[in-house]
Amino acid sequence: MLASLRRRLHETFVRWALRVRPPEPAPIVLTQRRVYVLPTRAGIAYAVALGIILLGAMNYNLSLGHALVFLLGGLGIVAILHTFRNLVLVSMRPGRCEPVFAGGVARFAMVLENRRAEERTSLRLFIDDETPVEIDIGPHASTVATLSVPAARRGWLPMPRLTIETTWPLGLVRAWSYAAPDLNCLVYPAPAAKAPPLPWGGASAQGSTRDGRGADDFSGLRGHQVADSPHHVAWKAVARQQDGPLLTKLFSGATAQRIWLDWEALPDTVDTEQRLSILARWMIDAEANGLAWGLRMPAVRLAPDNGPAQISAGLRALALHNHGAR
């Protein structure tokens, strides 16, 4: 009950402290009103120690004791100013986040810029309970901080609210601020660990594979792969061996095997997320074997092709199925 109340109070404070409705437009500048300062545990202990020293100096009328207390107290006040200045007016803007598969880790890049002539030292950035990333920013320079977030589900993953803080130089006070950048990561469905074989269907068409494999001229043998057509198995070579591995014939030429990855080809007992995982596995296997492949699914049709652009478009269509485009 107490923990739940604390969380609600903390969320209320954070919403007030952000000053704007998330996500924030770039650049995000940490103005003076957005930077907050409180003593750390070490700072509280420091203040308590100064109080004890002051009581002792007053009790025994020690002039040097008073001087020591005032000297250390002034040092603490100066530390507050330096800690605050180390963070205020830092500018942030979203970087990039490469797509990942569900179950992996999304890595959000944030670009931090220092517009002052003084170096910003020991800044820490973190999201929720993730491990902080510590950076330094040189005078009139910028740097990139990469924050990791678990990507549990396919679709668009918005970057969660981040916290940036510093306790430099003495660790007596903590200055911090919050930011909610407008940055999203595309999460692909996780490829199925076990999927049916590629749906050959005997279909072939004009085109070419990345490595020039076709069906014109015999160019050699290699180990058989699950995605290979049964028509290309070197049965005569296998028959001459005793318990030898299956071999597949390679051909060079302009013709290439073409397959369609069809949503409707999967059994009705397979649910939506399983279908997406199987199609993702088929795409990766077809691409690994240099096949020209096309995709048929509700509201999406990709013509047969291969290469990075083709698989990127296919996985994006799977990730955004029933999620909407962005």
DSSP secondary structure of 21-34:
PSSBPSPEE--GGG
Tens-digit pLDDT string for the chain (326 aa): 777 888 888 788 888 888 778 888 989 999 999 999 999 999 999 999 999 999 999 999 899 999 999 999 999 999 999 999 999 999 999 999 999 999 999 999 999 999 999 999 999 999 988 889 999 999 999 999 999 999 999 999 999 999 999 999 999 999 999 999 999 999 999 999 888 888 875 443 334 444 444 445 555 555 666 556 666 666 666 566 666 666 676 555 444 578 899 998 888 888 999 999 999 999 999 888 888 999 999 888 999 998 999 999 999 999 999 875 55
Q: Are 255 and 216 in contact (CB under 8 A)?
A: yes
- φ, ψ for residue 273, nearest 5 deg: -65, -35
pLDDT at 289: 83
Q: Specify the pairing of strand 91-94 against strand 105-113.
A: antiparallel
pLDDT at 174: 97
pLDDT at 228: 62
Query: Rounded to whole angstroms, what are the CA distances from 3 to 6, 9, 13, 94?
Result: 5, 10, 15, 32
DSSP letter (8 states) at residue 88: T
Residue 194 has, within 13 A of its CA and on its CB side, a CA count of: 1
Give residues with Cβ within 8 angstroms of 283, minimum separation 6.
261, 293, 295, 311, 314, 315, 318
Give the span between the Cα atoms of 113 and 110, in whole angstroms: 10
Adjacent-strand bridge partners of 258: 292
Buried b vs exposed e over 80-117: b needs ≥16 C-beta within 10 Å? bebbbbbbbbbbbbbbebebbbbeeebbbebbbbbeee
DSSP string, 272-294: HHHHHHHHHHHHHHHHHTT-EEE
- Determine which helix (DSSP H) or strand (DSSP E) holds 309, and give its type and residue range: helix 308-319
At 94, list the tokens. Answer: 């979203």
Of 160, 156, 164, 144, which is closest to residue 93 (Cα–Cα)? 144
Length of the chain equals 326
Q: Are 40 and 167 in contact (CB under 8 A)?
A: yes
Q: Does residue 23 have a cis bond before it (omega within 30 degrees)?
A: yes
Indicate the pTM of the whole model. 0.78
Give the span between the Cα atoms of 312 and 258, in whole angstroms: 18
pLDDT at 230: 66
